[in-house]
Structure 1
Amino acid sequence: MSGNTVYINATSAYFPNEPVSNDEMEAYLGYIDNKPSKSKKIVLRNNGITNRYYALTKGGKPTHTNAQMTASAVKELFKDDPDKIKEIDLLSCGTSSPDQMMPSHGVMTHGWMPEIGPVEVVSPSGVCCAGMHALKYAYLAIKTGDVTKAVATGSERFSGLLVSDVFEEEAQKLKELNENPYIAFQKDFLRWMLSDGASAFLMSDKPNAEGISLRIDWIEGVSFANEMETCMYMGAEKQPDGTLKGFMDFTPEEVMTKSIFSVKQDIGLLSDNIVPLGGQKIKEIFERKGLTADDIDHFLPHISSDFFRSKIYDLIQIYGGGIPYEKWFINLYTVGNVGAASIYLMINELFNSGRLKKGEKLLLLVPESSRFSYMYAMLTVV
């Protein structure tokens, strides 16, 4: 596709409050049935996370909305010249945890930044791929010449779903958990995996005059919902035939007693499919574009847990010739799994690290287990 070349000119991140260590988590999220979790240590051992952030006080009181955090990340892009925020033509905000169902997350974020003025706003939904969809919308809008400057964001505020008073007490399957780490992705266990934060990119059709920019070479995605049933869901209950029964079809009492608004995953589906399906598209992209692993200088895979790192490594070995770990960049361990924001947070940290050299190529991989969607992109440092 011809058109304007698109660049990421600046990146930012916003984390609420102070980092929370593994030992402090239940001080923020609370105890289920007033007992310390028996599964927490096992889940944390598998996911490798040592710090994360919550938009909560100790005791579980909210401190920020998703929209407030996202607006703070956007404003951070313009900290050296706040007036330049008025030059934005488009605000594209991806999340899987909006503060409400209506209005959209994007317009609520815009509402915290009246100084921008009236602009186009779009709010891709979904799960981890939502941030990449926001990025692609902004990329295409600039590429077609429809806008000149855009901001794309990824953000999450999961902590409101993780506090103990929204959870029903569930048996801790410790023996099963030890034998099958995939069990760590079920409802209660997601408490030890998800965290809050926001990140933003300033994008335009021109590279920075000084310093580096990231040229977006391509962004591609694929969904396997045509052949796969739902794996990760919220606001619904999975039925025996694999379909979802949405929250509108439950009574208010059922919504509460069945914890309809907690996040859940179908572990069997996840373990059998999340990595192999992602590899199918990588293989096709590499072959179509004539790419090999040698062409990649930095590999940024969004992983929800360190458990998946070796699985993805083996897959790339099969499909792409192998990308050695020294080319990988993952900050899951220090910022947590921030869903749609995770790929932004990785890019932000690497962009501002001083490590990038002009001409280097970054391969992005973002899987989404909800109904098995994947996004991929290639960026070049210029």
Structure 2
Amino acid sequence: MVKFSEQPLKLIASASILPGPPVTNEQLFAALVSRCSARSAKSKVRRAKAIARRLAITHRHLTRNLHTVVCQLSPDAPELGVQVLSSMLGERQLDVQDIDYLITHTATPHTQIPGNSAWIADRIGLHNPHMELRQACTGFANALFIASGLPGTTNSINTVAVCGMEVGSVFFELADHFLDEEQLLNYMQMGDGAGGVLLAACDSGVESKTGNGRRGNLQSGGIISDIYFGHIGVGRDPGFHLAGAGSSDIIDHSRGVPHFRHNGAMVKEHGADLFLTAIQCINERGYSLHELDWILPHQANGRIGQMLSRETGIAAGKFVVDAGELGNLGSAAIWVSFDRLIRSGKLKRGQKLLVLGAEATKYMYGGFIYQH
């Protein structure tokens, strides 16, 4: 059953970070040739090309080095989060301690414990509370649900920062024994990055510092409302999961590094239901897709807009799709595309955006309405 938050939030700032220059499909194919045996490289490249065509993904950004089997990340996940927060604070001329509560979400943490929120707080010197959600593509919706209940509840909480980051490229070995069909899908589909928002209650008196040191009211970028979250996962096997990183399979070292496993049949059977269930819930709140100006779905692949256009009858041009040039950014995907849309100038004042998050781990969905 879906749940809605009845507490809207004021958007103070947004930001997104993509590590390094874009990595093309051709660079990924070349890395396969370099790291795999001559006997298998040709077959793997052929299969990778077919996957890339099916996904319509041509570029992505990565924190890993393609010239080694495994590697350390640069920048790492907390650093991506630090850059997002620093960008938002700098834009609004706020101090680190103006973040009264930090909520992060990711499926690829720097360490399982402490979470990214703790590492980020340490690096930026944040002394206020923080927490982290271990969640993939709908982490943003759960974080918003929690955030909506914080501002205004006490005199000490005015602003909440939400930040999602993913560095999934490290959960991968560029080696023959590792690169089956599942892992080639990960290789071609996933990207790294981070994004986030700074939020306050709609009636908040949150202020920014002006150039002369005085404080002035922040101009809101818009209102986030109708925050919702639900799932249809009871009794269904996960569509994908991170193997080798949990207490249930810690002794399974058959693959070396922890890695993502896909249940393609389950995702194909139930994936579209996540979007359609969310749309039904939004319709029941009194919204019509035809009346909304933009729709931002989870960025699963570069064809997601076309797929949803066929399912809903809504013109493909209404759907915001960045996955073709960014890949699937998991827990960071919605915030990165949200920030890019705002900065593009396409979203005009007064226009409404519907966000449709979907996550196939245990078939969760969530999102919000944003009025610019």
Q: TM-score range by the shorter chain?
A: 0.7 to 0.9
Aligned partner of 1:375 in structure 2 is 366
Q: Secondary structure at the match of 2:105?
A: strand
327-336 or 368-377: bigger deviation: 327-336
Residues 187 and 330 (structure 1), Cα distance of their counterparts in 2 relative to 1, 3 Å cut: same
Within the candidate set 66, 79, 104, 1:68 is matched to 79
Pairs within 5 Å for 1:46-61: 46-60=54-68, 61=71
The letter of the residue matching 2:86 is K
Aligned residues: 348
**Which string of whole-angstrom CA distances, capped at 9 and with x for unpartnered residues, describes residues 298-338 of structure 1?**
110113113443332233x2xxxx42222211111222211
Q: Report the counterpart of residue 264 of structure 1 in structure 2.
A: 261
Q: CA deviation at 1:33?
A: 3.9
User: What pairs up with 1:355-370 in 2 under 5 angstroms?
Assistant: 355-370=346-361
Corresponding position of 1:16: 19
Q: Does structure 1 retain, via aligned residues, the 8 Å contact 2:137–2:359?
A: yes
Alignment of 1:98-247 (within 5 A): 98-114=109-125, 116=126, 118-142=127-151, 144=153, 147-165=157-175, 168-170=178-180, 186-205=182-201, 206=204, 213-235=221-243, 247=246
The structure-2 alpha-carbon separation of the partners of 1:276 and 1:304, relative to structure 1 and needing over 3 Å to count, comes to: same
**RMSD over aligned Cα, in angstroms?**
2.6
Q: In structure 2, the residue corresponding to 1:108 is in which secondary structure? A: helix
Q: Which of the numbers 314, 322, 326 marks the counterpart of 2:317?
A: 326
Cα shift at 1:110:
1.4
- Structure 1 or 2: larger helix share? 1
Calculate percent identity across the aligned residue pairs.
18
2:24 aligned with 1:31: no
TM superposition shift of 1:58: 4.4
Matched, 1:285 2:285: no
Distance 2:151 2:36 in 1: 48
- Native 8 Å contact 1:124 1:131 kept in 2: no
> Which ranges of structure 1 fall in alignment gaps of 5 or more residues?
173-185, 237-245
SS for the counterpart of 2:194 is strand
Which residue number corresponds to residue 182 of structure 1? none
The two structures have a TM-score, normalised by structure 2, of 0.85
Q: Secondary structure at the match of 2:12?
A: strand
Task: Structure 2 unaligned segments of length 5 or more: list them.
Answer: 208-216
Indicate the larger mover: 131-140 or 44-53. 131-140
Kindly tell me: are residues 81 and 28 of structure 1, through their superposed partners in 2, closer, same or farther at Cα, counting changes over 3 Å? farther
Q: After superposing the two structures, state which structure 1 stretch, 30-39 or 269-278, moved more.
A: 30-39
In structure 2, C-alpha distance between the alignment counterparts of 1:313 and 1:285, rounded to whole Å: 17
Secondary structure of the residue aligned to 1:57 is coil
TM-score (norm 1): 0.83
Task: Note if 1:44 corresponds to 2:52.
Answer: yes
